[in-house]
Chains A and B, each alone.
Chain A
Amino acid sequence: MAVSTASTLTQTPIPQVVAHEVPRPTRNWVDWLTTTDHKKIGIMYLVLTFAFFGVGGVEALLIRLQLAVPDNTLLDFKTYNQLITMHGTTMVFLFVVPVMAGFGNYFVPLMIGARDMAFPKLNALSFWMLAAGGAVFYASIFFNPPECGWTCYVPLSSKDYLPNGGVDAWIFLVHLTGIGSLVGSVNFYVTIANMRAPGMTWSRLPLFCWTILTYSVLLILALPAIAAAVTLLLTDRHFGTNFYDPAEGGSPLLWQHLFWFFGHPEVYIMVLPGFGIISEVLPIFARKPIFGYKAIAASTLTIAFLGLMVWAHHMFTTPSPSVVLVFFMVSSMLISIPTGIKIFSWIGTLWRGTIVFRTPLLFAVGFLGTFLIGGITGVFLAIYPVDWQLHDTYFVVAHFHYVLMGGAVFAVFSGLYYWFPKMTGRMMDEKLGKISFWTMLIGFHTTFLVQHSIGLDGMPRRIPEYADVGHLGLYNLISTIGAFILGVGILVTAINALRSLKHGPVAGPDPWKANTLEWFTQSPPPKNNFDAVPRVRSVEPMKDIRAEIERRTNEPDPVSA
């Protein structure tokens, strides 16, 4: 096939396809189990976390089925509580956080022009810790999964109220995945700090790498808090300590502070890499440089810094001094400023571009439109007198699903469609991709928009039954129908990915005419990533390389300057 010349760049349809053989992935499973290649580990991360996404999704549908009609008796109260706990835990600890590490593992070394991560063996360790954590947690379905929600508040999670092993399995999940993330974070940090290609200064680091760096720093700072929290819970449960027991001088508020000191940064840990993906995808499909690179990188750091200072906004209804409430209200409201800067910069990137509507872009735009709503409802929750009405209701459930499902997951899907050709050498199907996007978008808004009203109408979260007061019956039915539409949309992408592995059109090294270095090498990249690493001269090294090639082809005779 012909490679078009770069002079028609903006008019050239993408993808640019260059046919070549696609090397088949090895089928030798010992290779996979013992690998330290960041690309294989990245793939294993992605496969495992998407599997957990499926499991968590089925749990979500069961929860929604139970809530479809008032006073439903499909599930008993015990099973229901176990399901919300497993759904929340799975989505947070086993899907959104590690899926970002999966993309990070695969693409950070490629984007910075390195041959592997700094510590390849520790990298493998991170993955196996995650797998072990997931295995320990899901083993509990054979005895008694925990019933305390993913926040496992004491005293409910103490031995007096939940004596069986489910909570312990949860504690070990937090420990194991925590160690995995911590090791992985140190690895990311060292890799990005030390192994960048020649010429890639900090101000030329791809934005996705900036967000993975921030993700790592946040994990390193926040994980010790949750590690401490669950260790104290473990000794309370089994060794007779009383850290959380007020009758013995302990405090249940201590748990909440420690948990949310981790838990709030965790939210940014989940969405920041998503921001990074969006910042990579938008400029490519608008055929324009990212608008305000420095502002986006700086706002990422600002959000991370402020994100560490707002944890107690999850605790506005607890008995806390007014000055505490005011401090956390103000710091939470401040976060909307850097977030606003990001959103404006993204729209600025689209402005005066020539926007090509391929599936990665659709998901990125879906992210933008949806995340905005999640961000705005966050302001309502940050204002503590208003939060007194909204806290622990379906308004909150709607808010965090707008952020996590509409934000992080849409970004992840954008990244999946965008990078699939690099990882597999084949394109995903465009038609199925579009069908999946529209189904997901409609399903998503139908599910979660109305949940704001369910909460405003007075329905608390984490209840398996509700009376049909107000319009709760109708609202909940709409929400459940939406959840199933959403589920179908996700399924279409799953089918698309599996089918395209074999039948997708061959992608070639740079199907999107993208800007970053991962597109400089073959798809999928060879074991050592690059034959030679080019010198980086701007934020968009591939553009420079293409310009260089154009210059050479157009000027066959050497011209003296």
Chain B
Amino acid sequence: MRRSNRIPHLSRAAVLASASAIALAVLLTLLLAGPAHASFWAPQHGGSPNADRIHTLYSIIMVIAVIIFVAVEGALFYALWKFRMRPGAKAEQLHGNTRLEIGWTAGAAAIVLVIGIVTFIMLPGIRNPDDSDADGWQIPASYQTAKDPGLLPPNGKSLNIDVNGQQYAWRFVYPDGDNDRQNNVTAYEEMVVPTGTTVTLDVRSSDVAHSWWIPKLGGKADALPGYTNHTWFKIPRGKEGVYTGNCAELCGRNHANMTARVRAITPEQFTQWLARQKAAIEAAGRGAQQYRAQQAQNDQRSQQGDASQPSGEPVPSPSTVPNDATSPAAQR
């Protein structure tokens, strides 16, 4: 009984241990991982102005947060250290202090106000697309779709790609200036875009909810069946390369493998790429026409009782037409 009555003289040790334990956990993580990698501290960026602006906003808040964190944890540990139980010490029987309480309420409100103001200043630049650069890809006037102008760049010109999520792949449909969606350039998994050019995305889904996200190119946009979501990016000239991301909304068993890729190429290369795709589609169309004609001929012939004789050159079937677009992962 007597033992449990004794106060263990641990108070000093406890405070020391507490500080060092947290410091240890933090230090270990920092040493092992921190400085080596920039994204330890902040979200990824560097591929698009909106991602960069989110990064800036995040960093401003981070600075404020660190100051608050150090101040509050500092006060906490100081109190624990300074006012630990010591023989003879008496606790001050104080119930509150109205002035102090009003003071820190106002302080908290002021911090929230500052963060709010910064956010509202940064917001338009993150949400609204920039114009394409002068040396970006020249978007044909005929590409404009009748959209809410608020979702387009100030000059109304963007490469507007339709992004469709499906278990478990993304399908990209490029505009081609006419309103019939039959022969647009289409790609799966990898979106090819020109640098220096504003790309606006209409994000949809044809089955469950998915979420479009390439971290370096800005925030995510959920793809919900029945809705169209919007986001944008503009990869600067000189930053050609491949940007990758992962579907960010649980969409079923293969959610982890629903990846997305954006390959940025120069506007000149893009013009060529688009032409190649167009040609391939036309070839496929022609092939299909020839194939159907051939079929009709064959049918005619077989009706005439000449079925034993295969005739003419083999005609490529539509599926063997070369095409840059990869096949959907879902078919794997």
Contacts and interface: CB of A to CB of B under 8 A. Distances in A.
Interface of A: 1, 10-11, 13-17, 19, 77-78, 81, 147-149, 153, 155-156, 161, 246-247, 251-253, 286-295, 317-319, 322, 329-330, 333-334, 336-337, 340-341, 343-345, 347-348, 350-357, 362, 365, 368-369, 372-373, 376, 379-380, 383, 385-393, 427, 430, 434, 438, 441-442, 445-446, 449-450, 453, 456-460, 462-466, 469-471, 474-475, 478, 505-506
Given A317-B222, A471-B36, A289 B94 contact: yes
Contact of A354 (B26, B43, B83, B218): B83
B249 interface: yes
B1 A19 contact: yes
Contacts of B24: 442
Interface in B225-263: 225-230, 244-257
Given A442-B25, A458-B215, A475-B33, A344 B104 contact: yes
A261 to B, nearest CB: 18
Contacts, number: 315
A353 B84 CA distance: 7
B4 A427 contact: yes
Contact of A460 (B17, B69, B100, B248): B248
A19 B83 CA distance: 31
Given A340-B107, A341-B101, 14 more contacts: A13-B5, A155-B207, A252-B209, A252-B224, A253-B227, A292-B97, A317-B211, A344-B104, A348-B100, A357-B8, A383-B119, A463-B256, A464-B256, A506-B1
Given A319-B227, A460-B247, A352 B92 contact: yes
A445 B85 contact: no
A368 B80 CA distance: 12
Nearest to B40: A453
Contacts of B219: 317, 385, 387-389, 391
B325 interface: no
Residue from B17, B109, B127, B222 having most chain A Cβ neighbours under 10 A: B222
B213 interface: yes
Given A13-B5, A292-B101, A350 B39 contact: no
Contact of B76 (A362, A365, A376, A506): A365
A393 B248 contact: yes
B93 interface: yes
Residue from A340, A345, A357 having most chain B Cβ neighbours under 10 A: A357
A319 B112 contact: no
B76 A347 contact: yes
A78 B253 contact: yes
Contacts of A344: 101, 104
B37 to A, nearest CB: 5
A14 B7 contact: yes
A551 to B, nearest CB: 17
Contacts of B251: 156
Contacts of A11: 87-89
B72 interface: yes
B332 interface: no
A430 B68 CA distance: 33
Contacts of A362: 14, 18
Contacts of B44: 389, 456-458
Given A365-B18, A456-B44, A81 B32 contact: no
A231 B93 CA distance: 53
Given A341-B104, A383-B61, A460-B246, A389 B72 contact: no
B22 A10 contact: no
B104 A350 contact: no
A357 B11 contact: yes
5 contacts: A336-B108, A362-B18, A385-B122, A391-B219, A465-B256
Nearest to A446: B25
A430 B8 contact: yes
A293 B94 CA distance: 11
A258 to B, nearest CB: 15
Question: Which 4 pairs between the two chains have the least Cβ-Cβ distance?
Answer: A388-B219, A246-B226, A463-B256, A13-B7
Contact of B225 (A148, A155, A329, A430): A155
Nearest to A250: B226
A352 B91 CA distance: 6
B69 A372 contact: yes
Given A10-B89, A445-B25, A334 B43 contact: no
B6 interface: yes
A65 to B, nearest CB: 16
Interface string B41-52: 111100000010
B135 to A, nearest CB: 28
B58 A380 contact: yes
Contacts of A253: 224, 227
B161 interface: no
Contacts of B17: 438
Nearest to A479: B29
B221 A317 contact: yes
A246 B225 contact: yes
B94 A334 contact: no
Contacts of A430: 4, 8
Contact of A449 (B18, B26, B91, B245): B26
Nearest to A485: B25
Contacts of A161: 207-208, 252
B1 A345 contact: no
Contact of B92 (A341, A353, A446, A506): A353
Contacts of B193: none
A322 B90 CA distance: 56
A318 B229 contact: yes
A288 B41 contact: no
B26 A445 contact: yes
A509 to B, nearest CB: 15
Nearest to B37: A471
A319 B254 CA distance: 24
Contact of B79 (A149, A350, A460, A464): A350
